[in-house]
Chains A and B, each alone.
Chain A
Amino acid sequence: MSYAYLFKYIIIGDTGVGKSCLLLQFTDKRFQPVHDLTIGVEFGARMITIDNKPIKLQIWDTAGQESFRSITRSYYRGAAGALLVYDITRRETFNHLASWLEDARQHANANMTIMLIGNKCDLAHRRAVSTEEGEQFAKEHGLIFMEASAKTAQNVEEAFIKTAATIYKKIQDGVFDVSNESYGIKVGYGGIPGPSGGRDGPSASAGTCCS
Chain B
Amino acid sequence: MSQTSRSLFLFCSFPRNTDFPSPRRHLPLPLSLRFQFSAKPPMLESELHDLSDDADYAASLQQGSAGVMLRSDSTKQRSPSSDRDGAEIVFLKDNVAIHPTQFASERISGRLKLIKQSSALFMTWIPYKGHSSDARLSDKDRNLYTIKAVPFTDIRSIRRHNPALGWQYIIVVLSSGLAYPPLYFYSGGVKEFLATIKQHVLLVRSAEDANVFLVNDFQNTLQRTLSSLELPRAVPLACGPSNMSGGESILNENQERVDNGVDNGSLSVSQSHGRPRHKAQDPGRDLSIQVLEKFSLVTRFARETTSQIFGENQSNGFSTNERRTPIQTNLDHPKKSSDIVENIPDESPVVLDSQEFERLSLVWGKPRQSPLCSEEWLTFLDSEGRVIDSEALRKRVFYGGLDHELRNEVWGLLLGYYSYESTYAEREFLKSVKKSEYENIKNQWKSISSAQAKRFTKFRERKGLIEKDVVRTDRSLTFYEGDDNPNVTVLRDILLTYSFYNFDLGYCQGMSDLLSPILFVMDDESEAFWCFVALMERLGPNFNRDQNGMHSQLFALSKLVELLDSPLHNYFKQHDCLNYFFCFRWILIQFKREFEFERTMRLWEVLWTHYPSEHLHLYVCVAILKRYRGKIIGEEMDFDTLLKFINELSGHIDLDATLRDAEALCICAGENGAARIPPGTPPSLPVDDGSFYAQQDEIL
Q: Which residues of A contact B (CB under 8 A)?
A: 8, 15-16, 33-37, 39-43, 63, 65-68, 70-71, 74-75, 77-78
Contact = CB atoms under 8 A, between A and B. Distances in A.
Interface in B634-654: 639-640, 643-644, 647-648
A15 B509 contact: yes
A8 B508 contact: no
Interface residues of B, number: 35
Nearest to B468: A16
A67 B545 contact: yes
B316 interface: no
A17 B609 CA distance: 39
Contact of A78 (B513, B543, B640): B640
Contacts of B644: 43
9 contacts: A33-B471, A34-B476, A34-B481, A37-B473, A37-B512, A39-B584, A39-B585, A40-B585, A67-B547
Given A37-B509, A42-B647, 9 more contacts: A15-B509, A34-B471, A36-B472, A39-B584, A41-B643, A63-B509, A68-B547, A71-B547, A77-B640
Contacts of A40: 581, 584-585, 588, 647
A37 B469 contact: yes
Given A67-B543, A77-B639, A39 B510 contact: yes
Nearest to A37: B472
A90 to B, nearest CB: 9
Contacts, number: 71
B472 A35 contact: yes
B648 A43 contact: yes
Interface in B199-254: none
Given A15-B509, A37-B509, A71 B473 contact: no
A85 B700 CA distance: 20
B579 interface: yes
B586 to A, nearest CB: 9
A67 B508 contact: yes
Which of the listed residues B472, B643, B647 has the most CB atoms from chain A within 10 Å of its own CB? B472
A170 to B, nearest CB: 20
B441 interface: no
Nearest to A65: B509
Interface string B246-272: 000000000000000000000000000
What 4 A-B pairs are tightest by C-beta distance, nearest first?
Answer: A34-B475, A37-B472, A40-B585, A16-B468
A8 B640 CA distance: 10
Contact of B513 (A35, A39, A65, A77): A39
B563 to A, nearest CB: 24
Interface string B561-581: 000000000000000000101
B465 interface: yes
Interface string B460-475: 0000010011011111
Contacts of B468: 15-16, 37
Contacts of B547: 67-68, 70-71
Contacts of A70: 546-547
A41 B582 CA distance: 9
A68 B509 CA distance: 9
Nearest to A43: B644
A65 B639 CA distance: 22
A165 B162 CA distance: 67
A58 to B, nearest CB: 8
A39 B474 CA distance: 13
A34 to B, nearest CB: 4
B508 A65 contact: yes
A63 B469 CA distance: 12
Nearest to B465: A15
A79 B506 CA distance: 33
Which of the listed residues B543, B579, B589, B643 has the most CB atoms from chain A within 10 Å of its own CB? B643
Nearest to A70: B547
A137 to B, nearest CB: 23
Contacts of A15: 465, 468, 509
Contact of A34 (B472, B639, B647, B700): B472
Nearest to B474: A36
